[in-house]
Amino acid sequence: MVDGATRDGYGAGLVELGASNPDIVVLDSGVSDSTRSKKFGDKYPDRFFNMGISEGDMVCTAAGLAQAGKIPFATSFACFLLGRSMDQTLVSVAYSNTNVKMVGTHSGLAVGEDGPSAQMIVDLAYTRAIPNMTVIQPADWEEARQATLALAELKGPAYMRLGRSNVKGIYEEGSYKFEIGKASVLKQGSDAVIFATGSMVEETLKAIEQIGSDLDVTVVNISTLKPLDEATILDQVGKNKAVITAEDHNRIGGLGDAVCEVLMNHRVSKPYKRIAVNDTFAETGSASELYEKYGLSANHIVKALKEVTA
């Protein structure tokens, strides 16, 4: 298992793709060192395009490259990638159903000291609502590497959400196979199921360590938010007495809403708690400080577990 940021797993995956597929091209909007797309650019400079601070142009250029038969990965901080290119994303990528892979790094409150303007907490809501768009958020370095490889095989638009902070490795190469649209059960229990995504998978596992043998908790990594693995969600809800969702994203439009839609559509009723940003802007601080203050830390997950199973 590799400890590290999911953005680092993405960089490693791009380098692998560059060696195996000459149609892979990578674009970045002036932050390639931070997004780790520079790893690809250093090895394959003829297939790397630094577009500068021009995200709309980058997305349209990526769409043009896709129409020419290339497989473009358009990369930037999540706040810039989507915040400055929504029209181009909707029309040139999604409506046109072009084979563009959009990759947003430095997402959520975990971006920490970069401050509120960089804390993208609405991107899952944006992208889940866009027709034709696949939405992925890996939980660790290895899953990010594998997800990058899988996106190259996927035909059509996709958004992958990555983090800035290092997370503990969860998966080992050779013993785990990432599949688009498939959730991963990390621990099986019967008292409550926690559906977590991205960095909140690590936070959930910390909470399970804290709670010890007091509760028997199921942990499910939802790394594909669209299309959602409804079968696994319904199966695990059926095996447990209560439900929690955990995400570093606004409580509106993300994983919590997605899971609730599944339960409502299938008329399933269980005690439920949501761990998410409570529809507010945060402030500058370390990731751990912000997680504690805004209700995302392992301590808050433990509290929610106790409340939902009381």
Catalytic sites, residue numbers = 55
Radius of gyration of the chain (CA): 19
Core vs surface per residue 49-67: b (16+ CB within 10 A) or e: bbbeeebbbbbbbbbebbe
Residue 272 main-chain phi, psi, to 5 deg:
-145, 140
> Which residues, other chains included, contact 68 with Cβ-Cβ below 8 Å and sequence gap of 6+?
none
Three-state SS at 84: coil
Burial class from Cβ neighbours inside 10 Å (0-12, 13-18, 19+) for residue 163 reads: buried
- 5: tokens are 């940021």
Written as six digits, the tokens of 80 are 């810039």
Q: In what order do the strands lie in the sheet with 71-77?
A: 48-50, 24-28, 71-77, 101-105, 158-161, 134-136, 224-226
